[in-house]
Amino acid sequence: MKTTVFHHCDFAGRPYRIQDFREPLETTGVLPFVAGIGSFQRSHVWMLKLKTAEAKERLLAEGALEVKKLYCAVIEHNKRELAFKVHWVPIYVSNESVQKAFEDFGAVTDVTREQWNSPGLEDDNPAGLENREAMDFSQEPAGLIAVKRSHEESVGEKPK
């Protein structure tokens, strides 16, 4: 598995076929190094075995491919890091509170808030407005790849 990567493609592009990957793999220069490719899960996750570790690194450096004009992530299956969103986080909740809420599952390495723009509000904050509904963060899981959490959690304290 040292030369294997997974492609997680946009669900909207299903069904994907082997020939859909030919051009993107050729563009990245790894097509001659492909030893095998096949559908792994529900036609939108594909497993790709390469002939060399260098070809794998080249593909991982790309980060993503465009397959059928849709986003297709290149995933290192041995990577021990998760990234996910937590929705409906009030803006008064600090990043530290979110880190603390998930520290049982490993070291949280990054917490970011999304920014968005809306017509008529750019003058107040040219960098964009903070999205109250989502936080992204990644962590190294402590022996777990995925953890089922309650769909409702209390994080942080309300301001006084």
Among 68-77, 86-95, 115-124, 150-159, top mean pLDDT goes to: 68-77
- Same domain as 86, residue 33: no
Of all residues in the chain, the percent with pLDDT exceeding 70 is 69
State the total domains in the chain: 2
Of the pLDDT bands very low, low, confident and very high (cuts 50, 70, 90), residue 74 is very high
- Give the mean pLDDT of 146-158: 54
* Last-in-domain residue among 75, 103, 132: 75
Strand partners, 36: 49
Contact call for residues 10 and 70 (beta carbons, < 8 A): yes
∠ at Cα 77 (103, 146), nearest 5°?
Answer: 35
pLDDT at residue 144, as a whole number: 46
Residue 136 has pLDDT above 70, yes or no: no
- Same domain as 27, residue 61: yes
- Same domain as 117, residue 68: no
Q: Which domain holds residue 135?
A: 82-141
Tell me if 64 is assigned to some domain: yes
Strand order in the sheet with 129-141: 82-87, 129-141, 106-116
Tell me if 157 is assigned to some domain: no
- Same domain as 51, residue 66: yes
- Encoding tokens for residue 19? 């020939």
- Same domain as 89, residue 30: no
- Same domain as 45, residue 10: yes
Residue 40 has pLDDT above 60, yes or no: yes
C-alpha separations of 53 from 68, 91, 99, 114 in Å: 26, 44, 35, 35
Distance, C-alpha 126 to centroid of its chain? 27
pLDDT at residue 6, as a whole number: 93
Q: Which residue has the higher pLDDT, 100 or 160?
A: 100
- Same domain as 70, residue 11: yes
pLDDT at residue 125, as a whole number: 59
* Last-in-domain residue among 53, 75, 97: 75
pLDDT at residue 27, as a whole number: 96
Tell me if 148 is assigned to some domain: no
Residue 93 has pLDDT above 60, yes or no: yes
- Same domain as 16, residue 69: yes
Neighbours of 133 (CB within 10 A): 15
Among 20-29, 39-48, 121-130, 139-148, top mean pLDDT goes to: 20-29
Tell me, what CATH number does 8's domain have? 3.30.70.330
- Encoding tokens for residue 7? 């492609």
pLDDT, averaged across the chain: 79
- Same domain as 129, residue 66: no
* Phi-psi group of 156: left, alpha or beta (phi > 0 → left; psi -120 to 50 → alpha; rest → beta): left
- Same domain as 65, residue 33: yes
Which DSSP state fits 15?
A: S
Contact call for residues 20 and 68 (beta carbons, < 8 A): yes
Tell me if 94 is assigned to some domain: yes
- Same domain as 47, residue 24: yes
Amino acid at site 115 = Q
- The two beta strands, 129-141 and 82-87, are antiparallel
